[in-house]
Amino acid sequence: MATIERTPKFEQRSGLRWLWVAMIIFMIDYLSKMLVMGTMAANGSTPIAVLPFMNLYYVHNTGAAFSFLSTEGGWQRWLFALIAIVVCGFLSYQMRQASITKTAHNIGCALIIGGALGNLFDRIHYGFVIDFLDFYYKTHHFAIFNVADVAIFCGVLLYLLSSRKKLTTA
């Protein structure tokens, strides 16, 4: 006689229940950008030293990471918006398929979605992304970015780590 293995009801719940993380990231990103826009001048203000390795410096980024394609004529705005929408849809689908107990996977997806939505809002509403976090070492400055970018980076790390764990246990 075959035995039927039952999955506890909690584990049957969808990972979409983690989307609250995406909403929190979106709100933190939005509020931080509103604060920067309300208190600093864009593209030329004097940097505000926050830490020995970080300034606040407000810029408009019409490109993607590291200002990729920022010198193009404006078509890239819609390309990056489309990419954000597709990524959010794909990751939402993955969260829906995943159990609520797949914490690292679901939080990784939610961080990416929250960050992507934050930058998508900027692209659609302003035509550019608001960046203001300037990390540096001595005279070497990294790209200027925002809270959404930090969330995307952390989300990708979690996503990859959770994917790697799945591959090694399969």
DSSP letter at 16 equals G
User: For this structure, is 131 an active site residue?
Assistant: yes
Give φ, ψ of 136 to 5 degrees.
Answer: -150, 165
Cα–Cα nearest to 63, from 45, 81, 50: 81
Question: Are 36 and 59 a contacting pair, CB within 8 Å?
Answer: no
Q: Under a CB-based contact definition with an 8 Å cutoff, are residues 112 and 91 in contact?
A: yes
Q: Is 134 a catalytic residue?
A: no
Which one of 29, 122, 134, 149 is the catalytic residue?
149
Q: How far apart are CA 164 and CA 143, in angstroms?
A: 28
What is the helix (H) or strand (E) element at residue 140, kind and residue range? Answer: strand 140-141
State the catalytic residue, choosing from 29, 122, 131, 134. 131
The set of catalytic residues is 131, 149
